[in-house]
């Protein structure tokens, strides 16, 4: 059961269309069957690949670049540097995988 499908449907619902999360799940199951809960599954899986790859590559590149420039100290980047590298790398990964996330959301909303 995909909670993502339920979240998308509840977000896009008309007022009074569903009385609860359970009611939403029941209506989807009755009208569309079990397969409706897996709409957007393939784009979601395909979106993980570029997101994870870009996220890890950018993170390691930024961290190693910082380490090469700042080796005078202990060599430990520190929490703020690591958080900054993680923020930038995660943003890059999200931007690269956004088209697949959009496709997934549109499939789930149908």
DSSP class per residue in 71-107:
-SS-S---HHHHHHHHHHHHHHHHHHHHHHHHHHHHH
- Per residue of the chain (110 residues), give pLDDT as tens: 478 888 888 888 888 888 888 988 898 889 988 888 888 788 778 888 889 999 999 999 999 999 888 876 666 888 999 999 999 999 999 998 888 888 877 877 77
pLDDT value for 43: 79
pLDDT value for 59: 96
């Amino acid at each position: 059961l995909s909670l993502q499908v339920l979240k998308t449907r509840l977000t896009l619902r008309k007022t009074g269309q569903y009385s609860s999360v359970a009611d939403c799940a029941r209506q989807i199951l009755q009208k569309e069957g079990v397969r409706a809960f897996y709409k957007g599954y393939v784009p979601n899986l395909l979106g993980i690949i570029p997101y994870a790859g870009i996220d890890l590559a950018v993170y390691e590149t930024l961290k190693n670049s910082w380490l090469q420039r700042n080796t005078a100290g202990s060599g430990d980047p520190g929490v703020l540097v690591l958080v900054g590298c993680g923020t930038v790398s995660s943003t890059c990964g999200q931007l690269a995988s956004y088209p697949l996330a959009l496709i997934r959301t549109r499939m789930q909303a149908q």
